[in-house]
Amino acid sequence: MTKKLFLPTIQSALFLFCLIAMAQTPESTPREKYAATITSEDLSELLYTVASDSMQGRMTGTEGQKMAADFLQNFYKAHRIATAPGMDHYFQEIPATYFTRMKNPVSSENVLAYIEGSELPDEVVVLSAHYDHVGMEGDTIYNGADDDGSGTVALLEIAEAFQMAKDQGYGPKRSLLFLHVTGEEIGLYGSRYYTENPIIPIAQTLCDLNTDMIGRIDPLKEGNENYIYLIGSDKLSQSLHDLSEEVNKTYVQLELDYTFNADDDPNRFYYRSDHYNFAEKNIPVIFYFNGVHQDYHKPTDTPDKINYPLMAKRTRLIFHTAWEIANREGRIYADKRTE
Ligand SMILES: [Zn+2]
């Protein structure tokens, strides 16, 4: 009896305690609020489309790649995210003649979207990811969920979060260019074409945050999965490297692993994705990468094998880093330039 009589009192005490605790939780900052809109559910839904069989492995110049380009364009249209300055459409066409190492060269396209900065619109942060993959072999489809469906949909979610921020009065001070490049798997063509034919002058391009494979786990990291490999962050700009570290410590708390950033890394990953074409132009870069795994460049790189919560966390790191670069007091430079 007494116990029963007592219970409601304990319950109401607990309830009161919770109310007080809730009231004392500090309001999350706008950047945290918009970062929280990047969810594993949204990423999963998008990736099951981008890496679906209907996209036929997204080989450069094929129908599947064009379907993927349309999907990206439709996403940006639906979210009222703008085309790049001076363009009235989302595609940057690359002529067939540019693909010199292709057996039967066909034209292809980069897909670009843009969020204009409110105070320093001429200073632009590029976020890149390749959306092409290696296509099909007979009837076998290479879905390329991790490579690089993961980076592709990460960009979409980041763009959506920034556009929402802008619509609600928290738009970035500097501009953001979302650059989905084609032709990566056959020789980094799309990013090279963009850097040779930039929509925004190279001198106004602050950095390239490139995402290529962020949905899986390196077998060496099993049991220790709260990580991402960063490559290139300190090669051209110490200030970029420092702010990336700081942002991670404050907002995300992933282990930033620099194993593959070593100058003598035998894998040479620094030279093997699209950021390298930006680094060649002396633009600071960060390459976000989960490392290789058993399904790398195999038909088994499928969306069911992705770790979506981890991918969401890695995507939020990129979002926070872009937010910091776009909103901080001073712009970042290639402060380690040696030539
Ligand atoms: Zn890739």
- Tell me the three state secondary structure of residue 143: coil
Ligand 1 center from residue 151 Cα (angstroms): 9
Ligand 1 center from residue 327 Cα (angstroms): 29
Cα 106 from Cα 96, distance rounded (Å): 4
Ligand 1 center from residue 272 Cα (angstroms): 8
Residue with tokens 């890496």: 51
Which pairing describes strands 255-257 and 227-231: parallel, antiparallel, or unpaired? parallel
Give the domain ranges of the chain: 36-327
Ligand 1 center from residue 264 Cα (angstroms): 21
Q: Which regions of the chain does DSSP assign to beta strands (E)?
A: 91-94, 108-115, 120-130, 136-137, 140-141, 174-181, 205-211, 227-231, 255-257, 285-289
- State residue 260's pLDDT score: 97
Which residue intervals of 36-62 are DSSP H helices? 40-50
Instruction: Please identify, in words, the CATH class of the domain defined by 36-327.
Output: alpha beta
Contact (Cβ atoms closer than 8 angstroms) between residue 38 and residue 315 = yes
Ligand 1 center from residue 148 Cα (angstroms): 5
Evaluate if pTM is beyond 0.85. Answer: yes
Cα 283 from Cα 243, distance rounded (Å): 16
Residues 93-148 pLDDT 10s? 999 999 999 989 999 999 999 999 999 999 999 999 999 999 999 999 999 999 99
Ligand 1 center from residue 336 Cα (angstroms): 27
Q: 3: pLDDT confidence band, cut at 50, 70 and 90? A: very low
Ligand 1 center from residue 318 Cα (angstroms): 17
Ligand 1 center from residue 294 Cα (angstroms): 15
Ligand 1 center from residue 56 Cα (angstroms): 16
> Taking residues 50-71, what's their average pLDDT?
98
